[in-house]
Structure 1
Amino acid sequence: MTENKKLLIWILIPFIYGLLPTTFMLVIPPLLSQLVFTVFWFWVGMKTPHLRGNNIKNFIIGNSIWLLSFALYLWQFVLLNDESRNMFLALISQYYMHSFLWSGTRLTLWFSGGLYGTTITIISYLSMLLVFSLGFLVGKIRSR
Protein backbone atom coordinates (compact mmCIF):
# COMPACT_ATOMS: atom_id res chain seq x y z
CA MET A 1 0.00 0.00 0.00
CA THR A 2 1.42 3.37 -0.94
CA GLU A 3 2.11 6.01 1.66
CA ASN A 4 -0.55 8.35 0.25
CA LYS A 5 -3.21 5.64 0.54
CA LYS A 6 -2.13 5.06 4.13
CA LEU A 7 -2.49 8.78 4.83
CA LEU A 8 -6.00 8.77 3.38
CA ILE A 9 -6.96 5.90 5.65
CA TRP A 10 -5.37 7.60 8.66
CA ILE A 11 -7.18 10.89 8.08
CA LEU A 12 -10.53 9.11 7.64
CA ILE A 13 -10.29 7.37 11.03
CA PRO A 14 -11.50 10.39 13.09
CA PHE A 15 -14.57 10.69 10.84
CA ILE A 16 -15.32 6.98 11.13
CA TYR A 17 -14.88 7.17 14.90
CA GLY A 18 -17.31 10.10 15.08
CA LEU A 19 -19.82 8.24 12.94
CA LEU A 20 -19.76 4.91 14.81
CA PRO A 21 -20.76 6.01 18.34
CA THR A 22 -23.51 8.21 16.95
CA THR A 23 -24.88 5.53 14.62
CA PHE A 24 -24.66 2.59 17.00
CA MET A 25 -25.21 4.51 20.25
CA LEU A 26 -21.88 3.40 21.68
CA VAL A 27 -20.79 5.04 24.88
CA ILE A 28 -17.06 5.67 24.93
CA PRO A 29 -15.67 7.68 27.84
CA PRO A 30 -14.70 11.12 26.48
CA LEU A 31 -11.39 11.29 28.35
CA LEU A 32 -10.33 7.86 27.07
CA SER A 33 -11.32 8.84 23.53
CA GLN A 34 -9.41 12.11 23.86
CA LEU A 35 -6.25 10.38 25.09
CA VAL A 36 -6.29 7.68 22.41
CA PHE A 37 -7.01 10.10 19.58
CA THR A 38 -4.53 12.69 20.79
CA VAL A 39 -1.78 10.07 20.60
CA PHE A 40 -3.08 8.78 17.27
CA TRP A 41 -3.49 12.25 15.69
CA PHE A 42 -0.04 13.33 16.93
CA TRP A 43 1.39 10.15 15.37
CA VAL A 44 -0.38 10.86 12.06
CA GLY A 45 1.08 14.36 12.17
CA MET A 46 4.54 12.89 12.77
CA LYS A 47 4.20 10.50 9.83
CA THR A 48 3.01 13.16 7.37
CA PRO A 49 6.39 14.91 6.74
CA HIS A 50 7.94 11.53 5.86
CA LEU A 51 5.67 11.06 2.85
CA ARG A 52 6.98 11.72 -0.63
CA GLY A 53 6.40 15.18 -1.98
CA ASN A 54 6.28 18.69 -0.66
CA ASN A 55 5.81 19.04 3.11
CA ILE A 56 3.31 21.87 2.72
CA LYS A 57 1.26 19.78 0.31
CA ASN A 58 1.42 16.82 2.71
CA PHE A 59 0.31 19.01 5.61
CA ILE A 60 -2.67 20.27 3.60
CA ILE A 61 -3.59 16.75 2.49
CA GLY A 62 -3.29 15.54 6.09
CA ASN A 63 -5.75 18.22 7.17
CA SER A 64 -7.98 18.19 4.10
CA ILE A 65 -10.90 16.35 5.70
CA TRP A 66 -10.42 18.42 8.85
CA LEU A 67 -10.63 21.62 6.81
CA LEU A 68 -13.64 20.44 4.81
CA SER A 69 -15.46 19.35 7.94
CA PHE A 70 -14.57 22.55 9.84
CA ALA A 71 -15.68 24.75 6.93
CA LEU A 72 -18.91 22.79 6.69
CA TYR A 73 -19.48 23.25 10.43
CA LEU A 74 -18.84 27.00 10.26
CA TRP A 75 -21.18 27.32 7.29
CA GLN A 76 -23.98 25.39 8.98
CA PHE A 77 -23.70 26.73 12.53
CA VAL A 78 -22.13 30.16 12.26
CA LEU A 79 -23.22 31.55 8.90
CA LEU A 80 -26.70 30.03 8.61
CA ASN A 81 -29.64 30.47 10.93
CA ASP A 82 -31.65 27.54 12.30
CA GLU A 83 -34.24 27.61 9.53
CA SER A 84 -31.65 27.54 6.75
CA ARG A 85 -29.55 24.75 8.22
CA ASN A 86 -29.36 21.40 6.40
CA MET A 87 -29.64 18.81 9.17
CA PHE A 88 -27.63 16.16 7.31
CA LEU A 89 -24.73 18.53 6.62
CA ALA A 90 -24.94 19.90 10.15
CA LEU A 91 -24.74 16.38 11.56
CA ILE A 92 -21.83 15.10 9.46
CA SER A 93 -19.87 18.29 10.04
CA GLN A 94 -19.57 17.35 13.71
CA TYR A 95 -18.31 13.78 13.29
CA TYR A 96 -14.68 14.59 12.53
CA MET A 97 -13.82 16.35 15.78
CA HIS A 98 -15.92 14.06 17.96
CA SER A 99 -12.88 12.48 19.61
CA PHE A 100 -11.63 15.92 20.74
CA LEU A 101 -14.85 17.02 22.49
CA TRP A 102 -13.37 16.46 25.94
CA SER A 103 -10.65 19.08 25.38
CA GLY A 104 -13.13 21.42 23.70
CA THR A 105 -15.44 21.18 26.70
CA ARG A 106 -12.66 21.65 29.26
CA LEU A 107 -11.12 24.61 27.46
CA THR A 108 -14.51 26.26 26.96
CA LEU A 109 -15.29 25.92 30.66
CA TRP A 110 -11.85 27.22 31.54
CA PHE A 111 -12.04 30.31 29.34
CA SER A 112 -15.73 31.20 29.48
CA GLY A 113 -17.13 29.56 32.58
CA GLY A 114 -20.12 28.22 30.62
CA LEU A 115 -20.91 25.53 28.10
CA TYR A 116 -21.66 26.79 24.61
CA GLY A 117 -22.03 24.12 21.93
CA THR A 118 -20.62 26.10 19.02
CA THR A 119 -17.65 27.26 21.07
CA ILE A 120 -16.95 23.71 22.28
CA THR A 121 -17.00 22.40 18.73
CA ILE A 122 -14.76 25.13 17.33
CA ILE A 123 -12.24 24.66 20.15
CA SER A 124 -12.37 20.89 19.59
CA TYR A 125 -11.52 21.44 15.93
CA LEU A 126 -8.70 23.82 16.84
CA SER A 127 -7.35 21.35 19.42
CA MET A 128 -7.28 18.70 16.74
CA LEU A 129 -5.36 20.99 14.38
CA LEU A 130 -2.91 21.89 17.14
CA VAL A 131 -2.17 18.24 17.96
CA PHE A 132 -1.64 17.39 14.28
CA SER A 133 0.57 20.46 13.78
CA LEU A 134 2.73 19.63 16.79
CA GLY A 135 3.12 16.07 15.53
CA PHE A 136 3.99 17.40 12.08
CA LEU A 137 6.69 19.67 13.55
CA VAL A 138 8.16 16.88 15.66
CA GLY A 139 8.18 14.59 12.62
CA LYS A 140 9.85 17.25 10.51
CA ILE A 141 12.52 17.91 13.18
CA ARG A 142 13.18 14.17 13.62
CA SER A 143 13.60 13.65 9.89
CA ARG A 144 16.54 16.06 9.74
Structure 2
Amino acid sequence: MSEKRKIWIWLLIPFLYGALVSFVPMIIYPVAAQIVFGAFWLWVGMRFALLSGNSLKNFAWGNSLWLISFLLFLWQFILTDDANRNMAIAAVSQNYMLSFLTSGVWIYRLSETDSIDATPIMTLAYIVMVVVFAIGFVWGKIKKKTQIE
Protein backbone atom coordinates (compact mmCIF):
# COMPACT_ATOMS: atom_id res chain seq x y z
CA MET A 1 0.00 0.00 0.00
CA SER A 2 1.37 3.40 -0.94
CA GLU A 3 2.28 5.99 1.70
CA LYS A 4 -0.47 8.36 0.51
CA ARG A 5 -3.16 5.67 0.89
CA LYS A 6 -1.95 4.88 4.40
CA ILE A 7 -2.14 8.56 5.26
CA TRP A 8 -5.78 8.76 4.17
CA ILE A 9 -6.53 5.82 6.43
CA TRP A 10 -4.79 7.58 9.32
CA LEU A 11 -6.97 10.65 8.75
CA LEU A 12 -10.11 8.51 8.92
CA ILE A 13 -9.24 6.81 12.20
CA PRO A 14 -10.51 9.60 14.53
CA PHE A 15 -13.79 9.74 12.58
CA LEU A 16 -14.20 5.96 12.65
CA TYR A 17 -13.49 5.88 16.39
CA GLY A 18 -16.05 8.63 16.99
CA ALA A 19 -18.65 6.85 14.89
CA LEU A 20 -18.03 3.61 16.76
CA VAL A 21 -18.29 5.33 20.16
CA SER A 22 -21.60 6.83 19.07
CA PHE A 23 -23.00 3.30 18.85
CA VAL A 24 -20.98 1.54 21.56
CA PRO A 25 -20.18 4.02 24.35
CA MET A 26 -17.08 3.61 26.52
CA ILE A 27 -15.03 1.41 24.20
CA ILE A 28 -12.00 2.98 25.82
CA TYR A 29 -12.08 4.97 29.03
CA PRO A 30 -12.20 8.67 27.93
CA VAL A 31 -8.88 9.64 29.55
CA ALA A 32 -7.16 6.64 27.95
CA ALA A 33 -8.72 7.54 24.58
CA GLN A 34 -7.40 11.09 24.98
CA ILE A 35 -3.87 9.86 25.69
CA VAL A 36 -3.87 7.25 22.91
CA PHE A 37 -5.38 9.55 20.30
CA GLY A 38 -3.25 12.49 21.43
CA ALA A 39 -0.11 10.43 20.84
CA PHE A 40 -1.51 9.04 17.60
CA TRP A 41 -2.48 12.49 16.26
CA LEU A 42 0.93 13.89 17.21
CA TRP A 43 2.51 11.03 15.23
CA VAL A 44 0.19 11.65 12.26
CA GLY A 45 1.26 15.32 12.27
CA MET A 46 4.90 14.19 12.21
CA ARG A 47 4.21 11.83 9.31
CA PHE A 48 2.63 14.63 7.26
CA ALA A 49 5.66 16.81 7.95
CA LEU A 50 7.93 14.14 6.49
CA LEU A 51 6.04 13.97 3.20
CA SER A 52 7.78 15.44 0.20
CA GLY A 53 6.36 18.54 -1.39
CA ASN A 54 5.00 21.82 -0.14
CA SER A 55 4.74 21.97 3.67
CA LEU A 56 1.69 24.23 3.63
CA LYS A 57 -0.15 21.84 1.31
CA ASN A 58 0.84 18.85 3.46
CA PHE A 59 -0.41 20.61 6.60
CA ALA A 60 -3.69 21.57 4.88
CA TRP A 61 -4.12 18.04 3.51
CA GLY A 62 -3.49 16.58 6.95
CA ASN A 63 -6.22 18.75 8.42
CA SER A 64 -8.68 18.53 5.52
CA LEU A 65 -11.10 16.12 7.22
CA TRP A 66 -10.70 18.03 10.48
CA LEU A 67 -11.63 21.26 8.71
CA ILE A 68 -14.66 19.75 6.97
CA SER A 69 -15.88 18.29 10.24
CA PHE A 70 -15.22 21.52 12.15
CA LEU A 71 -17.04 23.62 9.56
CA LEU A 72 -20.04 21.25 9.70
CA PHE A 73 -19.94 21.50 13.50
CA LEU A 74 -19.86 25.33 13.40
CA TRP A 75 -22.71 25.38 10.89
CA GLN A 76 -24.90 23.05 12.93
CA PHE A 77 -24.12 24.25 16.48
CA ILE A 78 -23.16 27.91 16.12
CA LEU A 79 -24.89 29.23 12.99
CA THR A 80 -28.08 27.11 13.08
CA ASP A 81 -30.69 27.26 15.82
CA ASP A 82 -32.06 24.12 17.45
CA ALA A 83 -35.25 24.09 15.38
CA ASN A 84 -33.38 24.12 12.06
CA ARG A 85 -30.51 21.78 13.00
CA ASN A 86 -30.04 18.73 10.79
CA MET A 87 -29.53 15.99 13.36
CA ALA A 88 -27.66 13.67 10.97
CA ILE A 89 -25.12 16.35 10.02
CA ALA A 90 -24.87 17.47 13.65
CA ALA A 91 -24.15 13.91 14.79
CA VAL A 92 -21.57 13.25 12.06
CA SER A 93 -19.81 16.56 12.73
CA GLN A 94 -19.11 15.51 16.32
CA ASN A 95 -17.46 12.19 15.46
CA TYR A 96 -14.08 13.55 14.35
CA MET A 97 -13.16 15.24 17.62
CA LEU A 98 -14.76 12.75 20.00
CA SER A 99 -11.45 11.21 21.09
CA PHE A 100 -10.30 14.71 22.16
CA LEU A 101 -13.44 15.55 24.14
CA THR A 102 -11.72 14.93 27.49
CA SER A 103 -9.18 17.68 26.79
CA GLY A 104 -12.04 20.01 25.86
CA VAL A 105 -13.65 19.29 29.24
CA TRP A 106 -10.35 19.84 31.08
CA ILE A 107 -9.79 23.21 29.43
CA TYR A 108 -13.45 24.23 29.87
CA ARG A 109 -13.23 23.50 33.60
CA LEU A 110 -10.41 26.04 33.87
CA SER A 111 -13.02 28.74 33.20
CA GLU A 112 -14.45 28.09 36.69
CA THR A 113 -17.98 27.95 35.33
CA ASP A 114 -20.51 25.96 37.30
CA SER A 115 -22.58 25.11 34.25
CA ILE A 116 -21.66 22.70 31.49
CA ASP A 117 -22.13 23.84 27.90
CA ALA A 118 -21.33 21.19 25.31
CA THR A 119 -20.73 23.54 22.35
CA PRO A 120 -17.67 25.31 23.83
CA ILE A 121 -16.34 21.98 25.11
CA MET A 122 -16.55 20.46 21.63
CA THR A 123 -15.03 23.60 20.09
CA LEU A 124 -12.11 23.35 22.52
CA ALA A 125 -11.70 19.66 21.62
CA TYR A 126 -11.45 20.61 17.94
CA ILE A 127 -8.88 23.29 18.77
CA VAL A 128 -6.80 20.87 20.85
CA MET A 129 -6.91 18.38 18.00
CA VAL A 130 -5.47 20.82 15.46
CA VAL A 131 -2.89 22.10 17.96
CA VAL A 132 -1.67 18.54 18.66
CA PHE A 133 -1.39 17.91 14.91
CA ALA A 134 0.49 21.21 14.46
CA ILE A 135 2.94 20.35 17.25
CA GLY A 136 3.58 16.98 15.62
CA PHE A 137 3.97 18.66 12.24
CA VAL A 138 6.53 21.17 13.54
CA TRP A 139 8.34 18.42 15.43
CA GLY A 140 8.48 16.35 12.24
CA LYS A 141 9.86 19.32 10.28
CA ILE A 142 12.56 19.88 12.89
CA LYS A 143 13.39 16.17 12.88
CA LYS A 144 13.56 16.16 9.08
CA LYS A 145 15.80 19.26 9.04
CA THR A 146 18.22 17.80 11.59
CA GLN A 147 18.45 14.55 9.62
CA ILE A 148 19.39 16.46 6.48
CA GLU A 149 22.15 18.46 8.20
TM-score by length of 1: 0.96
Provide the secondary structure at the position in 2 that maps to 1:111: coil
Runs of 4+ residues over 4 Å off in structure 1: none
Equivalent positions of 1:56-71 (< 5 A) are 56-71=56-71
Larger radius of gyration: 2
2:92 alignment counterpart:
92
CA distance in structure 2 between the partners assigned to 1:25 and 1:102 by the alignment: 14
Deviation at 1:112, TM superposition (A): 4.3
CA RMSD in angstroms comes to: 1.0
C-alpha contact 1:45 1:133 (8 A) present in aligned 2: yes
Deviations 1:35-73 (A, max 9, x none): 000000000001101112211111111000000000000
Per the alignment, residue 143 of structure 2 pairs with: 142
Q: Is the 8 A contact 1:4 1:51 kept in 2?
A: no
Q: Which blocks of at least 5 consecutive residues in structure 2 are unaligned?
A: none
The TM-score with structure 2 as length reference comes to 0.93
The CA deviation string for residues 52-109 of structure 1, in whole angstroms up to 9 with x for no partner, is: 2211111111000000000000000000001111000000000000000100001001
1:34 corresponds in structure 2 to: 34
Q: Identity across aligned pairs (percent)?
A: 47
Partner of 2:54: 54
The gaps in structure 1 that reach 5 residues or longer are: none
SS at match of 1:143: helix
The corresponding residue for 1:13 is: 13
Letter in 1 for 2:36: V
Number of paired residues? Answer: 144
Q: Is 1:130 the equivalent of 2:131?
A: yes
